[in-house]
Chain A
Amino acid sequence: MEYEAVIGLEIHAQLLTSSKAFCSCSTKFGAQPNMNTCPICQGMPGTLPVFNKRALEYTIKMALACNCSINGISRFARKNYYYPDLPKNYQISQYELPVSEHGWVIIETEQGPRKIGITRIHMEEDAGKLVHDERNPVSYVDYNRTGVPLIEIVSEPDMRTPEEASSYLKTLHSILVYLRICDGNMEEGSFRCDANVSVRPVGTVEFGTKTELKNMNSFKNVQKGLHYEINRHTEIVREGGRIIQETRLFDPTSGATVSMRSKEQAHDYRYFPDPDLLPLRVDEEWITEIKNGLPELPAEKKERFIKDFGIPPYDAGVLTASRELAEYFEEVVNYFNNPKLVSNWIMTEFMRVLKADESSVKDSLVKPAQLAELLRMIEDGKISGKIAKTVFDEMWATGFSPDKIVLEKGLLQVSDTSELESIISKILDDNPAEVKKYLDGKTQVVGFFVGQVMKASKGKANPGLVNKILSEQLSKLSA
């Protein structure tokens, strides 16, 4: 029997507000432990939460970008459980009345686009962090992260493969980053994902028993964890076994998942409306205002790039995966209207150095105008494509203009016909055997001559001119 997986994802995204959700402490990452705290986020007796409206605005942005409906009235609820990283021993979250519900996004799959349902998007506060002393039976707690606003995005169980799950995750990640409401950093935990997985025989409608997967802190690990878990489920079911409903942890070193707690050990969170916070009211006017302020989203941008710039869908997908990259591309095209060449350069050279240096588009020393200038030099035959790569690396490292680099390093292409003629005739003289081959009809030997010319000119020879002179001289010989 064939089995298929049923996958739903819960994504937690930290919102990029400058202060916390319910107090005025900074949300900045990396401060000394417990420096970004106050009596309110420390859960001291008698303190009260006051909601940061910016967090609501960001949540509504995401909800609108995911085609959700916004509830006119929503409520905060308390999720009660004991853990030392949670100073009040309850988390302010939303339960019965979330900010938004019933949305969807389109994801790319190998079989084409697929619509994935979004059950709800709600707001909550983040917990702190425990630091365990490896040598002593002591744990320390850092409340800097406590109270940082989060949104939880819950999908419908609409995904069938780990690849689809990964595509969904990337889609939401790029929307969040596009909206500039989350930095999307998975390592620092500002973008986290839990998965619900089950399997069932292909063609059936009922769900199998699910397990919940936690601790997959990269796109790759989400796929790995899901693959492992789906195989585990399938094997158990094939052998007539039963899946135990439980929460499992993904172990990145072994690539396996291990049981964390069973359904019986699951928490009863005793949700109830938080009496310290009034119901949130969102009026239509504000929603419209936010809607009008939304930027172009990745999917729209991709369509426009294909249509307006005539670049292949693949290129458009790569370029629009990041808002910064897409905007960079558009700026370069603005200066140098050859979109395909620009796209090729960004997808290869630019992205290569970004990745190698773990740098970001906005930190790049190569400004769009300079990249455009470099590409124009190629087009004008001033430098070869190969030399251009060297120049680009220099630009990346120094921020100098391509002009300056080419001049100082003497990299200008040799387009002097007489100079090239003498180089070529010397090469033909020095290689009589290859010339004979050519005269015998083995025309592919032309490549050898071109290579020799490039070598002799240290790559600076204008390739078009080289081809022209070479074929002139060779045809003279054969005459």
Chain B
Amino acid sequence: MSNLFNKSAHELIGLLNQKQITSVEITESVLDRIDNVESQVHAIVTLDAESAMESARRADEMLAKGESRTLTGIPIIIKDNMCFKGHRTSCGSRILENFKPPYSATVVQKIQDEGMVILGSANMDEFAMGSSTETSYWGPTRNPWRLECTPGGSSGGSAACVAACESIVSLGSDTGGSIRLPASFCGVTGFKPTYGAVSRFGLVAYASSLDQIGPFGRDVNDIALALNLICGHDPMDSTSAPVEHPDFTTFLNKSVKGMTLGAPSQFFDKIENKDVENVLVEARRVFEDLGVKFVELSLPHLDYGIAAYYIIAPCEASSNLARYDGVKYGYRAKNIDGMIDMYCKSRADGFGDETKRRIMLGTYALSSGYYDAYYLKAAKIRTLITQDFKKAFESCDAIFCPTAPAPAFRLGEKTDDPMQMYLTDVFTIPVNMAGLPGVSLPGGLSLDGLPIGFQLISSHFQESRLIQLSSAFQSHTAHHLARPAL
């Protein structure tokens, strides 16, 4: 069977179970595809073709013996910040250029136990700090829809892989929009679960109170399958929630008639891009046709989201990234004169500009005398934003809003203007601040042919509602089936 790389996970699962294909065939097909397009997209940091083929053979054995699980044999790519035992996990940084962890992240372990085929690690902004995948030490990833554009970030490699069919599904992490933004830019479905739904053990930390792992897929059906696999309490992560997650696939293809979506004025007032506006109008019409009611909402503290985020995330990052000092692992500068010099040079050479900028921001904001004015105030804003959402969910099942202010921008367009880059995340950051689940769904293309996503947000641990709404939308639209012409 040809072009297996083009199919969704649930299609491939059907074919595998009917013994029409093997995991080896799927994996070979995807590896061929990578061979053909990766030089243009540059979405992958480390390709483990050999170990992938080995996993595929093992998966076929599991299938043959009837020991397979739902996703056995399906290729996946993981973001370069998820520890994979014995495999390079560089976090897009020179400072971890050759770091091979002696342990696997909980999600990676789950993927392996499932019998999935890990192809390798996907490119990302250094330490997940960025909205374009341009801050990666390994160079930028390109948008499969238009190579001179960014795929968004920071999980740009994971999104681009799924869009370019270099993988069937992938995992990313989302701290301020790092799954949803690239999903929007690359025309794929990207899901950020509730904070605490997926274990962070083994996810190299950027901002611990905001980071959350989530999947990318061709459609929400694949997302539901991936969420079933990765959600769950992990005793190795104290912030992982001891909650029972439902089988998310049971929320696929269900009626959404009578459900209510909230449209926050603070979000819609900010839409300046005509294409984004059109996508939202069109998506709203689809939902209304499905019997969904819309209510206007107010989330008064949303405007402070970015400001507060750029205090809290850098504060945590400045501390999380302190461990990269050249003493124990990772990059150590040569020609050093003593301990302090080793620290300084290793970090000066090992980190890129954006990472340094955020370390400095955070260090400053936590300094004695500034803590109350910055960190503490930002923490208070965070509480207010959370309360805004809580109130909003009293009158709606989910919130409907844009994912990004505009379609993908060109490589280099915003690299010299951090403030412009930071504003890209205006619609996604508040979701992380409140720890809520959010999904970005393909909503159509701009006039000049770039994908545009829209976002659905629900209350804590109500992933199922998002699955239900997304599934209904995708059952009645074909935007998620559009593929770039690579």
Contact = CB atoms under 8 A, between A and B. Distances in A.
Given A80-B322, A276-B239, A43 B371 contact: no
B200 A48 contact: yes
Interface string B155-169: 000000000000000
Contact of B204 (A46, A51, A84, A272): A46
Given A39-B101, A272-B371, A47 B202 contact: yes
A275 B204 CA distance: 14
B441 to A, nearest CB: 30
Contact of A270 (B204, B235, B239, B367): B367
Interface in A38-93: 39, 42-51, 78, 80, 82, 84, 87-90
B295 interface: no
Interface stretch (B20-28, B325-333, B394-402): B325-333
A49 B239 CA distance: 10
B323 A89 contact: yes
A45 B366 contact: no
B103 A90 contact: no
Interface residues of A, number: 29
B323 A46 contact: no
A297 to B, nearest CB: 33
B208 interface: yes
Contacts of B237: 48, 50
Contacts of B238: 48-51, 276-278
Contact of A46 (B83, B325, B343): B83
Contacts of A48: 200-201, 236-239
B315 interface: yes
A97 interface: no
Contacts of B275: none
A268 B368 CA distance: 6
A87 to B, nearest CB: 6
Contact of B323 (A45, A268, A276, A277): A45
A141 B327 CA distance: 10
Given A82-B343, A272-B315, A272-B366, A47 B322 contact: no
Contacts of B82: 46
B371 A45 contact: no
B87 to A, nearest CB: 13
Contact of A278 (B101, B239, B363): B239
B208 A276 contact: yes
Contacts of B436: none
Contacts, number: 100
Nearest to A88: B323
A259 to B, nearest CB: 19
B372 to A, nearest CB: 11
Given A80-B366, A84-B339, A87-B328, A275 B101 contact: no
Contacts of A275: 207-209, 239, 316
Interface string B5-48: 00000000000000000000000000000000000000000000
A54 to B, nearest CB: 16
Contacts of A44: 101-103, 329
A90 B319 contact: yes
> Which of B99, B327, B343 has the most A CB atoms < 10 Å from its CB?
B327
A465 B201 CA distance: 82
A144 to B, nearest CB: 15
A195 to B, nearest CB: 23
A139 B99 CA distance: 23
Contacts of B327: 84, 87, 141
A268 B319 contact: no
Chain B, interface residues (CB within 8 Å), range:
35 or more
Given A80-B366, A270-B363, A270-B367, A45 B236 contact: no
A87 B323 contact: yes
Contact of A43 (B204, B207, B235, B328): B328
Contact of B328 (A42, A47, A51, A139): A42
B339 A272 contact: no
Nearest to A44: B101
> Which of A45, A87, A271 has the most B CB atoms < 10 Å from its CB?
A45
B96 interface: yes
Main secondary structure of the interface of A (DSSP, over half): loop
B203 interface: yes
B105 interface: yes
Given A39-B102, A46-B203, A276-B239, A89 B339 contact: no
Nearest to B93: A45
Interface in B363-403: 363, 366-368, 371, 375
B322 A90 contact: yes
B321 to A, nearest CB: 9
Contacts of B197: none
A92 B90 CA distance: 25
A272 B328 contact: no
A43 B319 CA distance: 12
Interface in A398-444: none
Interface in A255-310: 268, 270-272, 275-278
A50 B235 CA distance: 8
Interface in A105-153: 139, 141
A277 B89 CA distance: 24
A392 to B, nearest CB: 54
B375 A45 contact: no
Nearest to B208: A275
B205 interface: yes
B316 A50 contact: no
B62 to A, nearest CB: 28
Contacts of A89: 322-323, 325
B74 interface: no
B428 to A, nearest CB: 19
Nearest to B235: A50
Contact of A45 (B83, B316, B363): B83
A233 to B, nearest CB: 26
B91 interface: yes
B367 A268 contact: yes
B379 to A, nearest CB: 8
A43 B322 CA distance: 10
Contacts of B203: 46
Given A80-B319, A90-B319, A277-B238, A47 B366 contact: no
Contacts of B319: 78, 80, 90, 270, 272
Contacts of B81: 46
Contacts of B101: 39, 44-46
A48 B237 CA distance: 6
A81 to B, nearest CB: 9
A46 B239 contact: no
A78 B322 CA distance: 12
A82 B322 contact: yes
15 contacts: A45-B83, A45-B96, A45-B205, A45-B323, A46-B105, A48-B236, A50-B238, A80-B319, A82-B325, A84-B339, A270-B319, A270-B366, A272-B315, A272-B366, A277-B239
5 interchain residue pairs of minimum CB distance: A89-B322, A275-B209, A270-B366, A275-B208, A45-B204
Given A50-B238, A89-B323, A271-B366, 5 more contacts: A39-B102, A43-B328, A45-B204, A272-B319, A278-B238
